[in-house]
Amino acid sequence: MRKGLFLIVGTAVMMAACSTPKNIAYFQDTEQAEGAEIVAVKNITLRPGDMISIIVNAKTAELSALFNLPYTTRRIGQNSDASISGTSSSSISGYTIGDDGCVDFPTLGRIKVAGLTKQEVAKLVKDELRDQGQVNDAVVTVEFMNLTYEVLGEVSRPGRYAIAKDGLTILDAIATAGDLGIQGNRENIKVLRNESGFQKTYELDLCSTRSLIYSPAYYLQQGDVIYVEPNDLRKRQSKVNGNNVRSASFWMSLGSFVTSTILVIQRISRYM
């Protein structure tokens, strides 16, 4: 009888253990992915509503000033007494791309930049300045200003983060958000993306190196939303009356089950 009781209790404990997620480790197929061709970096192309900075450096500061927007100054912690003011900070003014895909650039007028990478915008401005005879040897630098992505769900630090460079990957984003929690589903990371006005959802598997690096969502774009859904264990834990290994209701149910089983066994043994 004791063996039967141990078998029943052991089965119940094993059933509870089965709720533990199996796929925790990333990149479980690294051996199969060894030697795979590296996917080319996908540079971000600009869209209407994006803000960028365009800085032109010429031979002299006076000449450069003709093509650059002024710096903006913001005073922080200003006191009601005008003679007592807080610190101030300066920032570069930016160009917001209009609905027509253009920005209004000093001396050049409206130039179309939507659909271009920041490297292509820099070349366009440099070529236009040279072709119009305004400056022959300008150094043009273009940077992103308001491009962001969001990380939601089972990560340590969900939130909105800035895109400061081309070639930002899903792994960069997850690392910035503090990595997945142990209860995050690593096999079904969702990336929601606006593609030419249409919603597109990609699913990525962090456990598979090959499927990850070849996904169209491996390199992020502005406005992407990354969602890490909870695994099955986490979903059960979120239920108000969920019977899981961490809830009091689970242990109460298990205790009731074991007690009932013992009583049944005792009753049966009396007639044997």
Residue 166 lies in a domain: yes
Q: Name the residue range of residue 68's domain.
A: 51-144
CB 216 within 8 A of CB 207: no
Residue 151 inside a domain? The answer is yes
Q: In terms of domains, do 159 and 107 share one? A: no
The CA distance from 41 to 171, in Å, is 14
More confident residue, 100 or 137: 100
pLDDT at 199: 93
pLDDT of residue 213: 87
The residue among 107, 125, 144 that closes a domain is 144
| Number of domains within the chain | 2
DSSP 27: -
pLDDT at 69 over 70: yes
Q: Looking at per-residue confidence, does 25 or 76 come out higher?
A: 25
pLDDT for residue 76 is more than 60? no
Lowest-confidence region among 47-61, 106-120, 205-219, 245-259 = 245-259
* Span 105-118, average pLDDT: 95
Residue 105 domain flag: yes
Q: For residue 91, give the 3-state DSSP assignment.
A: strand
Q: What pLDDT digit, counting tens, does each position of 187-225 carry? A: 999 999 998 889 999 999 999 888 888 899 999 999 999
- For residues 65-83, average pLDDT: 66
pLDDT at res. 83: 47
Instruction: Identify whether 158 is part of a domain.
Output: yes
What does the pLDDT read at residue 48? 96
Per DSSP, 70 falls in state P
Residue 74: predicted pLDDT:
56
- Residue range 94-100: average pLDDT? 96
24 domain-assigned = no
Closest to 193 measured CA to CA, from 205, 202, 185: 202
Residue 77: what pLDDT?
Answer: 56
**Residue 168 sits in the same domain as residue 120:** no
* pLDDT on residue 238: 59
Residues 89 and 72 occupy one common structural domain:
yes
CATH of the domain at 187: 3.10.560.10
Same structural domain, 70 and 184 = no
Average pLDDT, the chain: 81
* pTM of this structure: 0.71
- The pLDDT value given to residue 38: 72
Task: List the single range of 73-77, 90-94, 168-172 with lowest mean pLDDT.
Answer: 73-77
The CATH number for 73's domain is 3.30.1950
Q: What is the mean pLDDT of residues 79-100?
A: 70
Residues 34 and 168 occupy one common structural domain: yes
- Res 157: pLDDT: 96
